[in-house]
Amino acid sequence: MELSAVINHSDNMRLPTRKSEKLNKQDNGPVYLTKSGIEKLKRQILSLQLQTPELIKEVTRTQAMGDLSENAAYQEAKHQMRRAESKLFYSKERLKNAIEIQKDENDDTVHLGVKVIVEINGNQKIFEIVGPVEADPLHGRISYVSPLGLGLNGKRADDSVSVNGFEYKILEVK
């Protein structure tokens, strides 16, 4: 099936929106993403769009099984379809509001988009300052709005900052 047909078909198939889903969709502010984050989001949208026809087929197939009030397969298929639609909508909104993080090579301060090497308790750690959507502290990607991100923001090499009782010495900003 051609991609444009998948997109148009998925846009025509609508399930009722739950109140909780409406509340999740109200944030239309900027979404700061790295270039790789934008590409990942585009791949996710394409994947969801390609899954939609199969989900529609499954809803239709299970719907034909009889009594819908006691049809667990139908309820599950509907749930999967609703979840995919919600995720697709949310991903499209993120992409629409995405602002690619640009690195300023002349700025030696910690800010969105840079990597910073810090020393904490005698150990060196490398953090990349990213937007909240891409934050993954276990892999060294911290949000600029996190306590550590806010504490490091605007600082330079040789500065120190105390966050949540820990002392971070900035060794390098790159």
HSE-CB of 63 using CA atoms within 13 angstroms: 9
Q: Return the structure tokens found at 159.
A: 């500065």
Q: For position 14, what pLDDT does the model report?
A: 59
Task: Measure the N-to-C terminal CA separation of the chain; round to a whole number of Å.
Answer: 45
Burial 130-146 (b: 16+ CB within 10 A, else e): bbeebbeeeeebbbbeb
**pLDDT values of the chain reduced to their tens digit, one per residue, 174 residues:** 444 444 444 445 555 665 555 545 556 789 999 999 999 999 999 999 999 999 999 999 988 887 777 788 988 999 999 999 999 999 999 999 999 998 777 889 999 999 999 999 999 999 999 999 999 999 999 999 999 999 999 999 999 999 999 999 999 999
The domains of the chain, with CATH numbers, are: 3-100 (1.10.287.180), 115-173 (3.10.50.30)
Dump strand ranges (E) for 2-131. 31-33, 98-100, 115-120, 123-130
Q: Whats the size of the chain, residue-wise? A: 174
Q: What is the pTM of this model?
A: 0.70
121: Cβ–Cβ under 8 A, 6 or more apart, which residues? 166
